[in-house]
């Protein structure tokens, strides 16, 4: 009697190269698919996790991004989706990082935020403008300026103000700016990114 040997095939885990190709397959067979010159699509990370049966580690994400890159795709990951797209003329993109100010990079390497004053001067940012961005009213700005002037005034002027409440004692001119240290470097940076459309979800607190 012949002996029949059954071979059990052990399912293999998808490699990240295979996973990238399967995701592209889903793109191709989706009802909304159209052959595009510059195709782009999004996929939730939970859908990717279902394909491999586990959550993605940082290393897993890097591996999958690398495979998409090798297949000609670019990847961006946000809290909701993986965004996969192609770029026809990547060499025409503006490249940042070719010139980095030494003083700034040195501070970052030492864990120190660069000088707020330097940033404001370079970008033409006024402190009062930033204050309004963060919800300060004209009245609140005025009150802050009065408090600052009071702290810098001599004792006699302080006593007279305490008695009269006369703000003219401090000669605060129209357009006087709040002190530069009213806000942190990062708050000034958030203001700049938001006003230039570089931070779509600003302000960040």
pTM listed for this prediction: 0.64
How far apart CA 34 and CA 38 sit, in angstroms, is 11
Per the CB < 8 A criterion, the answer to whether 44 and 80 are in contact is: yes
More confident residue, 133 or 6: 133
> Model confidence over 93-123: pLDDT tens digits?
767 766 666 666 777 777 777 788 988 998 8
> Model confidence over 121-161: pLDDT tens digits?
988 999 999 999 999 999 999 989 988 888 888 888 888 88
Picking from 79, 78, 80, 72, the residue whose alpha carbon sits closest to that of residue 40 is: 72
What structural domains and CATH numbers belong to the chain? Answer: 16-88 (3.30.56), 102-195 (no CATH)
∠ CA 35-41-45, nearest 5°, is: 145
pLDDT value at residue 183? 94
> Model confidence over 55-94: pLDDT tens digits?
999 999 999 999 999 988 899 999 889 999 887 776 667 6
**In the chain, pLDDT over 70 holds for what percent of residues?**
83
pLDDT value at residue 5? 47
């Amino acid at each position: 009697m012949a002996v029949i040997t059954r071979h059990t095939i052990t399912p293999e885990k998808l490699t990240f190269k295979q996973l990238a190709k399967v995701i592209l397959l889903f793109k191709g067979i989706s009802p909304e698919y159209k052959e595009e010159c510059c195709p782009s699509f999004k996929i939730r990370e939970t859908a990717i996790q279902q394909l491999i049966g586990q959550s993605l580690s940082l290393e897993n994400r890097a591996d999958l991004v690398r495979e998409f890159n090798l297949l000609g795709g670019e990847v961006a990951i946000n809290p909701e989706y993986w965004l996969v797209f192609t770029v026809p003329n990547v060499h025409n993109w503006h490249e940042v990082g070719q010139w980095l100010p030494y003083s700034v990079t040195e501070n970052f390497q030492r864990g120190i935020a660069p000088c707020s004053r330097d940033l404001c001067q370079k970008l033409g940012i006024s402190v009062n403008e930033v204050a309004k961005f963060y919800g300060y009213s004209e009245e609140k700005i005025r009150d802050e300026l009065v408090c600052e002037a009071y702290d810098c005034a001599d004792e006699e002027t302080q006593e007279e103000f305490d008695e009269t409440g006369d703000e003219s004692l401090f000669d605060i001119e129209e357009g006087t700016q709040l002190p530069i240290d009213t806000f942190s470097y990062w708050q000034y940076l958030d203001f700049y990114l938001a006003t230039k459309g570089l931070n779509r979800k600003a302000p960040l607190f």
